[in-house]
Amino acid sequence: MSMIHLRSLSICLILITRISVAQSISQIDTQLDSIEYELMSFRALQDSVQGQIDYLITVSNKLTSKRESLLLEDAELSVYSVKVYLDSELMSTGNYLDFSVLQEIPINSSLIVYNEYYYGGRLKAKYGDMFGYVNQAALESSSMPAELKKFISNQGEKIIAERNTEGEWNTDTKRNTIEDFKKKRTRLTEKYGAVDARRILNGQIWIGMTGAMAQESIGNPKDINRTVNSYGIKEQWVYESRNLYFEDGILTTWQD
pLDDT surpassing 50 at residue 169: no
pLDDT surpassing 60 at residue 101: yes
pLDDT surpassing 90 at residue 170: no
Q: What per-residue confidence (pLDDT) applies to 17?
A: 55
- Domains belonging to the chain, first-starting first, are 73-192 (2.30.30.40), 205-255 (3.30.1450.10)
DSSP-assigned states of every residue in 164-201? HHHT---HHHHT-SHHHHHHHHHHHHHHH-HHHHHHHH
Which has more pLDDT, 95 or 20? 95
Side chain identity at 72, as an amino acid letter? L
Q: Which residues of 155-187 are buried (b: 16+ CB within 10 A; e: fewer)?
A: bbeebeeeeeeeeeeeeebeebebeebeebbee
Which has more pLDDT, 177 or 60? 60
- pLDDT tens digit string along 20-62? 555 577 777 777 777 777 777 777 777 777 777 777 777 776 7
SS3 226: strand
- pLDDT tens digit string along 188-233? 888 888 888 888 887 888 999 999 999 888 888 888 898 888 888 8
What is the average pLDDT value for the chain, to the nearest integer? 76
